[in-house]
Amino acid sequence: MVRLMVDAPAAGSDESAVDAFLQGGESLRHAPGPYFGSYGGRWMPESLIAALDQLEDTFEKAKADPEFTAQIAELNKNYAGRPSLLTEAKRFAEHAGGVRVFLKREDLNHTGSHKINNVLGQALLAKRMGKTRVIAETGAGQHGVASATAAALMGLECVVYMGAEDCRRQALNVARMELLGATVIPVTNGSQTLKDAINEALRDWVANVDNTHYLLGTAAGAHPFPAMVRYFHEVIGEEARAQILEQTGRLPDAVCACIGGGSNAIGIFHGFLDDPSVKIYGFEAGGEGVETGRHAATISLGKPGVLHGARSYLMQDDDGQTIESHSISAGLDYPGVGPEHSYLADIGRVSYEPITDSEAMDAFRLLCRTEGIIPAIESAHALAGAMKVGQRIAAEAGESGDASEKIVLVNLSGRGDKDVATAAEWFDLLDKDSPEHEIATEGEQL
Amino acid sequence: MSTVQDPGAAQNASKSAAAIDRAKAQGRAALIGYLPAGYPSVEETIAAGIALAENGADLIEIGIPYSDPVMDGLVIQAATTQALAKGFHVKQVFDVVRGITSKTDAAVLVMTYWNPVVRMGVEEFSRQLADAGGAGLITPDLIPDEASEWMAASDKYGLDRVFLVAPSSSPERMKRTVEASRGFVYAVSIMGVTGARTSVSSAARDVVAAAHAAGAERVCVGLGVSNADQVREIAGYADGVIVGTALVVAIGDGGVDAVASLTKDLSTGLTREEA
């Protein structure tokens, strides 16, 4: 922690400052929390501090316990399906300035996204703490499904909080969670969105903390969650780094990921934070356009504040009330962001940029048609960003003209099966009289 | 009268402690009533605050409606959501505090989640609260570990720092929190959120004893207290009793008159029974 408290260059600082920072021998890869620069911490009710202390203690001991790390490795290999592939996307790359594009295939993991890495780790910790029940929040249902999966595997009771509107729109994911033995509780208070699902999960945790672990789904929240969730996702970056070296013999020029709370991003960034030659990009949800106010571009447009236990960038009004976010992607539709990302933005190590719904959906369709891979709409934000980055690299290569030697790595954080109804509606593929059209516009009615 | 002119002198005078000590001198526990600012309107919050003071409350806790109230149950959530929907702004809390302190002797604290304070600036918020005659802040999601800015600002403006202690607080945390607090320590009676409960958990007595043992002079109990019998039970071992949800229901259902009569009834429980 101490070495990360050094004076950091301010946001927007030039690259030489970041290079100096990295070349000064400061590792950015293993920031332990609770603070990331001035971000992070524990802005939480006292009632929960004992549980956070217990979790931190259990996590620190587990990390140092070969039995635990062997359990994680075994589950990753034989249950989640790791290592995930690294696939070169040659036809897609033609639309990204002609650079080489590689996809880290988290979409091929069990349950269809990177989320499984974190839930397996936290469910094991819950067992170590002797807790018999896990609770989770979910937006569209991906983390809820992953939590229900881990709970089923390990014999834990599972309760998932989900906004009532999301329950209606994602009735099939509610059914998935229930098939896996979880109880889904629709949240009808506040704005009935993901942030309210987190609020309700925290209320449950306060009341049931003796037997309950809060299985938070992203690298946000109070310490130790941001550093702990990153730890469980570090495998993404470590695998990707080894795979790209094996396949190309060198490091990528750029790494791209989408950012909601930021767990898939911090996982892949981890592998490259200490490599000054690798530029790193996080793509936030620009929604209908940042100028419309209907977006989820927290770092691009938010201001530092405290929400859900951490100090970080936050979408808020002049009174400090949280502003509702908007994105076509439920997984990015959150008005906060993990504190480590806020720090990496301020020191200039990672560039954060918004991608609109429209840009993301164009990239979504492009990947389907050029590579035969249907990406999650979340991941499509990273793909759209990679296209921009590739085109910039090509423009810079200009006269020397060798963009084809440049490498862009994209974290394909999840598969798009869950998004087919949304995409079909977006691209107007549905007969107006079909039940599918009704599902896309009105939600699933089970 | 209430404007802080000399920060140095102000440090000596905790308004909350004085109010609790006045009750103690009368052989009873103090009554602390909670109202959310702007519910159903700013004017009614002021009128209800005055009614609280005139009918037996020694301290008044004014809540700032917030978009993400993780320590509140359904009744208070519904009230604060309504206040926000009707356009409540954080600065209006100072109007409420000034409106009550200008008419009564009650100590008026503000209960707030931390982000609205961060957004205004801890120093500026403290200055305006002191200027309005406020006694200090109750901070449900700020622990002493993160409170360095608030410690400095509250010292400067002579404001009380009411931190919470819970049944889950370790002896070390209990000690740290008690040492960081000024005015009184807020003992959470139960592991849970705000809301009326039929009985007050036995954990409350233990939390109060632990806080006293850690050096707290004044410990008040909140969460789940809604009637005179519960007030009577808690008054037997705590320095003050905090009632919230029941008052919110009262103002919602019967307006200021209902707040007055409930307060009168609650205050009958304050006198300590003979041991």
Is B163 within 8 Å of chain A by CB?
yes
The answer to whether B66 faces chain A, any CB pair under 8 Å, is: yes
- The pairing of strands A39-43 and A35-36 is antiparallel
| pLDDT tens, position by position, A356-414 | 999 999 999 999 999 999 999 999 999 999 999 999 999 998 766 689 999 999 999 99
- Which residues in chain B have their CB less than 8 angstroms from residue A201's CB? none
Predicted local confidence at residue A89, as pLDDT: 98
User: Alpha helix locations (H) across A185-224?
Assistant: 194-208
Asked whether the beta carbons of B60 and B15 are under 8 A apart, the reply is no
Distance CA A101, CA A386 (A): 8
Question: Which site among A1, A35, A46, A52 would you substitute to test the B interface, given the most B Cβ atoms closer than 10 Å to its Cβ?
Answer: A46
The pLDDT value given to residue A17: 52
Query: Mean pLDDT score of chain A, rounded to an integer?
Result: 92
Residue B7 pLDDT greater than 50, yes or no? no
Smallest Cα distance from A17 to chain B, Å: 30
For residue B89, list chain A residues with Cβ-Cβ distance below 8 A: 319
CA pair distance B123, A384, nearest whole angstrom: 43
- Across the A/B interface, how many CB contacts are shorter than 8 Å? 115
Provide the percentage of residues in chain A whose pLDDT is more than 90: 83
- Binned at pLDDT 50, 70 and 90, residue A438 comes out as confident
C-beta atoms of A45 and B71 within 8 A: yes
Q: Which residues of A touch B114 (CB under 8 A)?
A: 43, 306
What is the rounded average pLDDT of the residues A261-285?
98
* B-interface mutation test, from A35, A47, A204, most B Cβ less than 10 A away: A47
CB contact under 8 A, A320 and B120: yes
Instruction: Indicate if the pLDDT at residue A318 is higher than 90.
Output: yes
Q: Is the confidence at residue A25, as pLDDT, over 90?
A: no
Contact list, B141 vs chain A (CB under 8 Å): 43-45, 306
Mutation target to probe the A interface, by most A beta carbons within 10 A, among B75, B93, B128, B141 is: B141
pLDDT score recorded for residue B2: 44
Contacts of A46 in chain B (CB under 8 A): 143, 163-166, 168-169, 173, 177, 188
CA B163 to CA B178: how far, in whole Å?
8
Instruction: Measure the CA–CA gap between A376 and A191, rounded to whole angstroms.
Output: 25
Residue A11 has pLDDT above 90, yes or no: no
What's the first-to-final CA gap in chain A, in angstroms? Answer: 50
Tokens of A419: 């998004």
Q: Mean pLDDT for chain B?
A: 93
Residue A77: count of CB within 10 angstroms of its CB: 11
B119–A contact, CB cutoff 8 A: yes
Give CA–CA dist B229/A151, Å, rounded: 43
Residues A84/A104, Cβ–Cβ less than 8 Å: yes
> Closest Cα to residue A413, out of A327, A329, A293, A300?
A329
Q: What is the pLDDT of residue A332?
A: 93
Pairwise CA distance, residues B38 & A424, whole Å: 45
Active site residue A38: no
Provide the total of helices (H) and of strands (E) in chain B, helices listed first. Answer: 12, 9
For residue B274, the model assigns a pLDDT of 52
Q: Does residue B172 belong to the interface with chain A, where contact is any CB pair within 8 Å? A: no
Q: Taking CB atoms and an 8 Å cutoff, what residues of chain B touch A304?
A: 118
Using an 8 Å CB-CB cutoff, list chain B residues near A202.
Answer: 70
Please identify every residue of B annotated as catalytic.
61, 72
Per-residue model confidence (pLDDT) at position A12:
43
pLDDT range class, residue A189, cuts 50, 70, 90: confident
- The pLDDT score that the predictor gives to residue A122 is 98
Whether residue A167 is predicted with pLDDT greater than 60 in this model: the reply is yes
- Who's near A295: CB < 8 A, 6+ residues apart? A284, A285, A286, A287, A288, A289, A301, A325, A326, A327, A354
What would the two tokens of residue A58 be? 């259990």
In chain B, residues with a C-beta closer than 8 Å to the C-beta of A321 are 66-67, 84, 116
Q: Does B74 touch chain A if contact means CB atoms closer than 8 Å?
A: yes
Band of the pLDDT at A444, cuts 50, 70, 90?
low
Whole-angstrom distance, CA of residue B57 vs CA of residue B19 = 10
Q: What angle do CA A160, A186, A55 make, to 5 degrees?
A: 30
Give the helix/strand (H/E) hosting A139: none
- Spatial contact of B218 and B240, defined as CB atoms under 8 Å apart: yes
pLDDT of residue A360: 98
Interface contact A42-B117, CB threshold 8 A: no
Residue A141 has pLDDT above 80, yes or no: yes
Q: What is the pLDDT of residue A430?
A: 82
- Integer Cα distance of A160 and B36 in angstroms: 30
Place B13 in a pLDDT band, splitting at 50, 70 and 90.
confident
Q: Which of A104, A115, A195, A406 is catalytic?
A: A115
- Give the model's pLDDT for residue A13: 44
Residue of B75, B188, B191, B197 for testing the chain A interface, max A β-carbons within 10 Å: B191
Q: In what order do the strands lie in the sheet with A39-43?
A: A35-36, A39-43, A309-314, A303-307
E-strand spans in A219-302? 254-259, 279-287
More reliable by pLDDT, B2 or A379: A379
pLDDT of residue A165: 80
Catalytically annotated residue among A104, A379, A413, A418: A413
User: Is some CB atom of chain A closer than 8 A to the CB atom of B192?
Assistant: yes
Does A115 participate in catalysis according to the annotation?
yes
Tell how strand B185-188 and strand A157-163 pair up: unpaired
State CA A325 to chain mean position distance.
16
Q: What are the distances in angstroms from CA A161 to CA A22, A35, A144?
A: 41, 28, 8
pLDDT of residue A355: 98
The structure's pTM equals 0.93
Interface confidence, given as ipTM, is: 0.93
B180 contacts on A by Cβ (under 8 Å): none
CA distance B52 to chain A (A): 27
3 state SS of B123: helix
C-alpha torsion sign, points A274, A338, A229, A140 = negative
* A306 → closest Cβ in B114, B120, B193: B114
Are A306 and B117 in contact by the 8 Å Cβ rule? The answer is: no
CB contact under 8 A, A207 and B192: yes
Of B68, B89, B140, the CB nearest to A45: B140
Angle at B129 between CA B128 and CA B135, to 5 degrees: 155
**pLDDT 10s digits, A119-139:** 999 999 999 999 999 999 998
Please report, for residues A68, A79, A154, A364, the alpha-carbon distance to residue A71 in angstroms, rounded to integers and kept in the order given: 5, 11, 12, 35
Instruction: Collect all residues of chain B within an 8 Å Cβ-Cβ radius of residue A307.
Output: 68, 115
Mean per-residue pLDDT for A89-115? 97
Q: Which two three-digit tokens encode residue B108?
A: 């008026």
Give the residue on A whose Cα is nearest the Cα of B66.
Answer: A321
Q: How far is A201 from chain B (nearest CA, A)?
A: 9
- Residue A193 corresponds to which tokens in the numbers above? 């969105």
Residue A311 β-bridge partners: A40, A306
**Could A320 and B119 be called an inter-chain contact, meaning their C-beta atoms sit closer than 8 Å?**
yes
Nearest Cα neighbor of B116 from B35, B37, B33 is B37
Q: Which ranges of chain B does DSSP label H, i.e. alpha helix? A: 7-10, 15-25, 42-54, 74-85, 92-101, 114-120, 122-131, 148-157, 171-180, 203-213, 228-235, 245-267
Other CB atoms within a 10 A radius of the CB of residue A310 amount to: 31
Tell me the three state secondary structure of residue A357. Answer: helix
Lowest mean pLDDT among A16-30, A52-66, B186-200: A16-30
- Per mean pLDDT, which range of A320-324, A333-337, B192-196 is the poorest? B192-196
pLDDT on residue B9: 45
Contact between A47 and B164 using a beta-carbon 8 Å cutoff: yes
- The residue annotated as part of the active site, out of A137, A340, A353, A359, is A137
β-strand pairing of B219-222 with B240-243 = parallel
Helices B245-267/B74-85 angle, 10° precision: 110
Which residues numbered 81-110 in B keep a CB inside 8 Å of some CB on A? 81, 84, 89-90
- Sequence letter at residue B55: N
Whether A171 has a pLDDT exceeding 80, the answer reads yes
Helix B42-54 crosses helix B92-101 at what angle (to 10 degrees)? 30
Rounded to a whole number of angstroms, the distance from the CA of A72 to the nearest CA of chain B is 30
Flag whether pLDDT at B192 surpasses 70.
Answer: yes
Is residue A114 within 8 A of residue A106, CB to CB? The reply is: yes
The tens digit of pLDDT for each residue in B30-41 reads: 999 999 999 999
Scanning B1-60 for CB atoms below 8 A from A yields none
The dihedral formed by the CA atoms of B109, B112, B114 and B116, expressed in degrees to the nearest 10: -110
pLDDT for the residue B107: 98
Assign residue A192 a region: left if phi > 0, alpha if psi is -120 to 50, beta otherwise?
left
Nearest residue to A266 via CA among A360, A348, A375, A339: A339
Mean pLDDT for the stretch of residues A257-271: 97
> Measured between alpha carbons, how far is residue A295 from residues A325, A357, B255 in Å?
5, 9, 40
